[in-house]
Amino acid sequence: MSVIQFGEFQFDLALSQLTHNQQQIALDPRQQALLVFFIKNPQRVINRDELQEHIWQGVIVTDNAINKLVANLRKVLGDDAKEPKYIQTVTKSGYRFVAPLSIAEYTHDTVSPPVSKKPNSHFSLIAWLFLCAIIVSGLVMFILHTFNFSKTYGDTATLTRFHGSKLTPVFLNNEGSLLFLNVTLRERELWLSHGVANSRTLPTQIDSQRHTIEQLIAYHSGRLVYFGYESECGWYSAEFDPQTKRLGGDIKTLALCADLTVHQSMLNKAGDRLYVLAHPKKHEHKNQLYVTNSEKILEQVAIELDKQWRMTSIDLHPGDEQILLNAQSFDGRTAAFVYDFTDKQLTKEKEFETVVERVIWDHNGDGLVFVSPAPNSRLLHQPLDSDKVTLLGSVNERICCAIVRHPNKQDYVFTSSDKNIDLKWLSPNYALDNSSVIDRSPLFAHTREGHYFLSNRAGISQIYFQAPGQTSLLVTELEHNVQVEAMSLSNDDAFLLLREKHRLWIVPTSEHNEAKNIFVDGYVYKQHWLSNTLFSVTTKHQNSKQVIIYNSDLQKVAQFGDGVVIVLADQLNPAKHYYVDTQNRLFQASPDVLFSSPSLESLQEIGDIPDFSQILIENDVLYVVSKYGETLTTYKITDSLQLLSKQPLNAYLGFDVDEGKALYSGKANYRSEVYRTVAR
C-alpha cells in the first residue's frame, strides 16, 4: 500500500495516517484534508478559492479561517513560514507545497486466524446477541454524545458580500432560507438568501412594495411579520412567497406603537403574541418589556429590575415558556435575567464583568450565546451551570446587532458592522491624532487653536480636544448608554451641545461643572448655536418639524411653528441670523426679531439652497454639505446666493469650518455582512 515520504514524515494515504519517527501524529479532519490536497498537488501554487472548494466543500469562509488552518498544519509539521521546508506562502497568490515527495510500497503484516474447536452453537448465539446489544448500545450513545456535546466550532461562512448595513435576519424554513434588511444611505432594502448551507448561491433583492420596514421579526404561516410604518408606526404582516420572491399587498395590523420608541420585537411560536422591548419617548433609560393582549394592544409586563440595570435586548426561550432579558449597568457590567411567564418569577442567571452586547439562548435553552466586547468581538457560548466559555465564531470586523439560531439546531447566524471613520482636512493642515475606530463630529475651538471631537476609542462616547502638534486630550467621558448623534460648540467655547434622538445634553468644557440634560418631545434633528448662551434645535414630530430656542440652562425661550425648519447664525458675525424654510429657501434677519416669532414674509429672502445634510455660514459664505455627504458646495451671500465652488467630499459624520479651513469626519472603510457558524 502506498506511503508518501516528505522530509521527516510519512503519510499513509489508505489509512490517512501521519507518522514521524514511527510515532503517529494526530491531525483533525480539516488538517488531514489540507495535507492530502497539498500532497496531491505538489510544487503548484494553490489559491484560496481552491482551498475553499476542496477543504470546505464550497462553503465561503473568511481569509482568517484559511490562514488559521494553514498555520495549524505548519505547527504540526514544525514548519517555519519565513524559511519553509513544506508549505510556502506565495504573496497575493496562495500556497505551494515545496517538500520533495517519494513513494514507497508498504505492506501491512497479516495474521492468519487461529484454528479453534467448533463452539457450542447455543452459547455462540447468546454470546453474539449479547455482543451485538453492547455494540448497538455503545454506537447509539456515541452518536448522541457526539451530536450533542462534541461539535467543533470556530469556522464561519460568509453569506453576503456587498455594501450596506445588514440587519434583523429571519429564517423562512428549515432549509435555511433567510430574509434580512440591507440599509444604505439612500435605501432600506429587503434581501433573500436561498439555502444558507450552500452559500455559493447569491442573495436576491426583494421588491418591498414601498413598505417602510424597520425590523424583520418572523416568518409565520406564509406571512412576513415586521415592525415599520404603513399609515403609522406599528407591527404588520404581509404575504410573502419565497418561490416567487414577492411581498404581497394584503397588510394586516398586529399592533400600533403609540408613543413608544421600539428597540426589539419577537413573535412567539404560535404567532399570536408579540414581545417588545421599548420605552416611552420621554423616558429613554426606562426600557420595559411589553406584550400584546387579545385586543392587539401592548401591555407592559410587570418586571422591576434594580435601578442600576437597564434592559438592552430580549430573546424567547426555544420552548417559548421563558424570556431572556439582557441588561447593562451604569458601571459597565452585564446581567442575563430570565423571566418565567408561568410563575411570574425573575431570576438572574449570569453576570459578566464587562459590557456584553447581544445575548440569546442556545439551541437547547440551557446555555447562552453572546458577543464579547469590541474591538476583538467574538461569538461565544457559556452553559448556565458553568463558567466554561467556548468560541463559536470570529470574523475580522466587529460582531453586533443580531444573533439567530439556525434551523439545523446547531449553528448560529450573526451580523457584523465595522466602521473606520477618521477626521480629515479638506486642505492640508496640522497632523490629526486619529484613532483606529470612530472619531467624528469635529468642531473648531473659537478662543484657542485646535478642535474638539467625539470618539469611541474606549468603547463608549468620549469627547477629546487636540491642539496643533499635540496628541488628543480627554475632555469628558459620557455614560455608556448615551448614544450621541452630533454636537456643536458655543461661541465662547464654554459649552458643548450634544444631541441624542430624544435628548439634549449641555456639557461644560471646564472640569468643575456638571453636564445637564433634558428629554425632548419628538426626534431631535438639527442644532445650531446663535450666541454664547442661546441655541436653536429642530425637532421632528410625526410629519412636522419645528424650531425651539433654548438657553444654556436648557430653558425654552422661543418657538417657531410650521414653515421654519432651521435657525442659524454667521459663525464670525453673530449679528446676522438666517432662517431656512420647508422649501429650502434661505432668509436673513436681525437677531432682534428672534423672540417675536417673525413670519417668513417679513424676512429678507436670499435664495434657494440644494438638499443638504449640514449647512454652516461663516463670514458671509454658505457651506452646504449634500444630503449624503459626498459634495461640498459654497455660496457667497449678498442679496442673493452666488456659487463659489463645488467639490467632492466624504463628510460622513460631521463637518466644520474656521476662517475657510474645513475639517470633516470621513468614512475610511465600512463593512457589514451576514455570517453563520459551521459546526463540525
Q: What is the domain-level CATH number for residue 363?
A: 2.120.10.30
132 in a structural domain: no
Tell me, yes or no, whether 126 lies in a domain.
no
CA 375 to CA 358: how far, in whole Å?
A: 15
More confident residue, 196 or 75: 75
The arithmetic mean of pLDDT across residues 593-619, rounded, is 91
The answer to whether residues 403 and 533 belong to one domain is: no
Model pLDDT for residues 467-524, shown as the tens digit of each residue? 999 988 989 888 766 778 899 999 999 999 999 888 899 999 987 678 899 888 778 8
Please report, for the domain that includes residue 49, its CATH number: 1.10.10.10
In percent, how much of the chain has pLDDT > 90? 42
Nearest one of 124, 241, 225 to 177, comparing CA atoms: 241
> How confident is residue 459, by pLDDT bands cut at 50, 70 and 90?
low
Q: Determine, yes or no, domain membership for 135.
A: no
**Rg of the chain over all Cα atoms, to the nearest angstrom:** 31
CATH number for the domain that contains residue 555? 2.130.10.10
Q: How far apart are CA 18 and CA 35, in angstroms?
A: 10
* H or E segment and range at residue 240: strand 233-241
**474 and 622 inside one domain:** yes
For residue 343, give the 3-state DSSP assignment. Answer: coil
Q: Are residues 558 and 585 in the same domain?
A: yes
Q: Cell 494526530, residue?
A: 26
Same domain? 456 vs 516: yes
User: Same structural domain for residues 498 and 617?
Assistant: yes
Least confident of 200-204, 258-262, 439-443: 200-204
Summarize the confidence of residues 64-93 as an average pLDDT: 88
pLDDT value of position 147: 43
Q: Which of 245, 273, 301 is the last residue in one of the domains?
A: 301
Would 394 be classed as within a structural domain? yes
pLDDT class of 399 with cuts at 50, 70, 90: confident
The C-alpha cell at 451 is 478642535
The boundaries of the domain holding residue 189 are: 156-301
Does any domain span residue 650?
A: yes
Mark whether 523 and 429 lie in a shared domain. Answer: yes
Do 277 and 313 sit in the same domain of this protein?
no
| Per-residue pLDDT, 109 | 38
- CA angle 62-66-69, nearest 5°? 135
Same domain? For 290 and 310 the reply is no
Domain count of the fold of the chain? 4
**Is 283 in the same domain as 314?**
no
Grid cell listed for 461: 462616547
The answer to whether residues 490 and 637 belong to one domain is yes
Mean pLDDT of 349-359: 86
Cα pseudo-dihedral 659, 661, 663, 669, rounded to 10? 160
Average pLDDT, the chain: 84
CA dist 471 → 295, 431, 464, 510 (Å):
59, 9, 10, 19
User: Residues 544, 494: one domain?
Assistant: yes
pLDDT digits (tens, 9 = 90+) for 241-273: 888 888 887 889 999 988 888 999 999 988 889
- With a pLDDT cut of 70, the percent of the chain lying above it is 87
Could you tell me if 461 and 553 lie in one domain? yes
At residue 646 the predicted structure's pLDDT band, cuts being 50, 70 and 90, is very high
The last residue of one of the domains, among 351, 381, 416, is 416
- Distance between CA atoms of residues 538 and 25, nearest Å: 69
Residue 123 counted as domain residue: no
137 lies in some domain: no
| pLDDT of the residue at 419 | 75
Tell if the pTM clears 0.75, that is, is over it.
Answer: no
Q: Is residue 118 part of a domain?
A: no
Query: Among 378, 399, 416, which residue terminates a domain?
Result: 416
